[in-house]
Chains A and B, each alone.
Chain A
Amino acid sequence: MKVRVKFFAILRERAGTSEAAKEMAEGSTVADLWRQLQKDYPKLDVPGIRLLYAVNQDYVGVDHKLKDQDEVVFVPPVSGG
């Protein structure tokens, strides 16, 4: 299956891109995807960063199972307002 990843803020800068498409094994979780992405983009590993996870614009847990064509965003600490 293929998932789409969008990067924002510090993670966009670290990845050097705002989007990526990733081929993942069926049954992969958000955590699996994050591990794969850290291999593709070693700079994504920001020490001490606490991420939230969003799939198709909803927050999910790190064990959430991905589906084909999901849009996944790793949400660095938000700072709106």
Chain B
Amino acid sequence: MFHVTNQPIDLDGLVRFVADPEAGAVATFIGTTRNNNEGRKVMALDYEGYAEMAEKELRRIGEDAKTKWPICRMAITHRLGPVQIGEASVIIAVSSAHRDAAFAACRFAIEEIKKTVPIWKKEVFEGGEVWIGTQTGQRLDPS
């Protein structure tokens, strides 16, 4: 299950989805929005996505993870639109027979999301807003 959504993400739904009688472990990762970044007081984050391709890339990450670790099931949901401080922007759930594979695949998935999935985060802070660009480590100020 690899989705983007404009609604709050349902952690229990993802955990239920990856449930598997062969699994002895379920690892989850929740990315949440933080109230500060590089010294700025962040008010909110606004995510924009190329939805069709983002879901395709999330599926690709799931397939890659399956070739690297013996996992049972994986689910990823990424939020789009405005996300308030403290809410989840992304949740990953992975099940596997033993915990090592679930932890490793979960870590892999969030690192890959930050590299290849066409989703962009605009940070709204006190006194301005900025598109965050983690691919190059640079920040691009909209004119």
A residues engaging B (CB < 8 A)?
6, 8-10, 12-14, 43, 46, 48-50, 52, 54, 57-59, 73, 75-81
Chain B residues near A81 (CB-CB < 8 A):
31, 89-90, 110, 113-114, 121, 134
A14 touches B114 (CB 8 A): no
Min distance, Cβ B126 to any Cβ of chain A, angstroms:
20
**Can you list 15 A-B pairs with a CB-CB distance of less than 8 A?**
A6-B50, A9-B48, A9-B122, A10-B140, A12-B48, A14-B142, A54-B53, A57-B56, A58-B56, A78-B120, A79-B133, A79-B134, A79-B135, A80-B120, A81-B90
Q: B121: which A residues are within 8 A, CB to CB?
A: 79-81
| B131 on interface, CB distance cutoff 8 Å | yes
Residues of B within 8 A of A58 (CB): 53, 56
What are the residues of chain A within 8 A of B120 when measuring CB–CB? 8-10, 76-80
Docked-complex contact A76 and B114, CB < 8 angstroms: no
8 Å CB contact of B118 from A12, A13, A48, A78: A78
Check if A14 sits within 8 Å of B143, measured CB to CB. Answer: yes
Q: Which residues of B lie under 8 Å from residue A50 when comparing CB positions?
A: 135-136
Total interface residues on B, using CB and 8 Å? 33
What residues on A are CB-neighbors of B67 within 8 Å? none
Chain A residues whose C-beta falls within 8 Å of the C-beta of B140 in the assembled complex: 10, 46, 49, 76-77
Q: With an 8 A cutoff between CB atoms, is B132 at the interface?
A: yes
Q: Is the CB of A10 within 8 A of B131?
A: yes
B17-57, CB < 8 A from A:
31, 47-50, 52-54, 56
Using a CB-CB cutoff of 8 Å, which residues 51-66 of chain B contact chain A?
Answer: 52-54, 56
